[in-house]
Chains A and B, each alone.
Chain A
Amino acid sequence: MPRDALAEVSDDTLLVLYANGDRAASRLLTARLTPRIFGYALRLLADRAEAEDVVQEAMLRLWKVAPEWRPGEAQVSTWAYRVVTNLCTDLRRARMRRPAVTLEDAPEVADSARGAVAGMIEADRMAALQTALNQLPDRQRQAVVLRHIEGLTNPEIARIMEIGIEAVESLTARGKRSLTAILAGRQQELSYDDDEEGEAS
């Protein structure tokens, strides 16, 4: 089936089409899912190479389950996020003895049209956030990233993490409180107030 004709097709249907031998379906599904789960994996692992490995493995598993996929039972994206979550948890457990991640290990942030100084400040903020995220317990970090960075709803997160909605709310609330505490010492340099004042003046 031509790729344009598939643009409006759901992820579920694309996976079924892939299982039936449609190559265009796999390409479109890759283009839709990979950036999302890659961003998520990168936030959880703070390591580009490891995030790429995790995403490739998750997608590989998706292709393998395609023939048995039953449309309507689960969302493909939810399934993919769940696999990435589990793979990242395993990976982080495996590397527990390795040195802690430093600011330099934080993912690179794409430079935009803003000025170089503003870009550097923003990059520092992102790096600080990443460092703070890395200090959270796994479940809190997953919940905060899924809710506040990936923009998923609590029921979606509950399905991904296989917990109740109340537990998701609790994890995100505790995660944010911990982040605030971790970043408290750097509030001056991370605050957006100076930017707003600068833009106003």
Chain B
Amino acid sequence: MTDMDDLNQLLGAAAEERAVPSSALMARIVQDADRLQAVPVQRPRKKRPFAILADWFGGGFALAGMSVAALTGLYLGVVLPTPVLALTNLVTGQTAIDSLEVLPATSTFWAQE
């Protein structure tokens, strides 16, 4: 038998001998796999325009409060309810209040015709 035949037999025997990786190594590899496995990323939800506006004013409650205050002020200024007039008279001591008619009554327009 030649040297090469011996070598081929030796290599053949080596191919049959399978080195077994330790269970600790297998466990480490699986651990790495779990650690690196992609976690589904939660995309931030797109904010609606109202939410962006609310954020500007310090949140939804703040925006609601300011809206109510603005509407109340507009109501008091335009309608001038009697209880409010009486209260202002009491506080300021005046009996007459200068008032500016922002929106003329429709009868004004008819009178001009």
Contact = CB atoms under 8 A, between A and B. Distances in A.
Contacts of A20: 38
A56 B20 CA distance: 14
B91 interface: no
Interface stretch (B23-31, B52-60, B72-80, B101-109): B23-31
A190 B30 contact: no
Interface in A53-89: 55-56, 59-60, 63-64, 66-67
Contact of A126 (B9, B14, B28, B34): B14
Interface string B32-76: 111011101000000000000000000000000000000000000
A184 interface: yes
Interface string A7-40: 0000000000011110100110011001100110
Nearest to B17: A109
Nearest to B12: A148
A19 B38 CA distance: 6
Contacts, number: 108
B13 A63 contact: no
B4 A180 contact: yes
Given A38-B21, A129-B14, A149-B14, A59 B32 contact: yes
Interface of A: 18-21, 23, 26-27, 30-31, 34-35, 38-39, 42-43, 51-52, 55-56, 59-60, 63-64, 66-67, 107, 109-110, 122, 125-126, 128-129, 144, 148-151, 176, 179-180, 183-184, 187, 190-193
Given A43-B14, A52-B22, A183-B7, 17 more contacts: A19-B38, A26-B37, A27-B33, A31-B26, A34-B29, A35-B20, A42-B19, A51-B19, A56-B32, A60-B32, A126-B14, A129-B11, A149-B11, A179-B7, A180-B7, A183-B10, A193-B1
Interface of B: 1, 3-4, 6-15, 17-22, 25-26, 28-30, 32-34, 36-38, 40
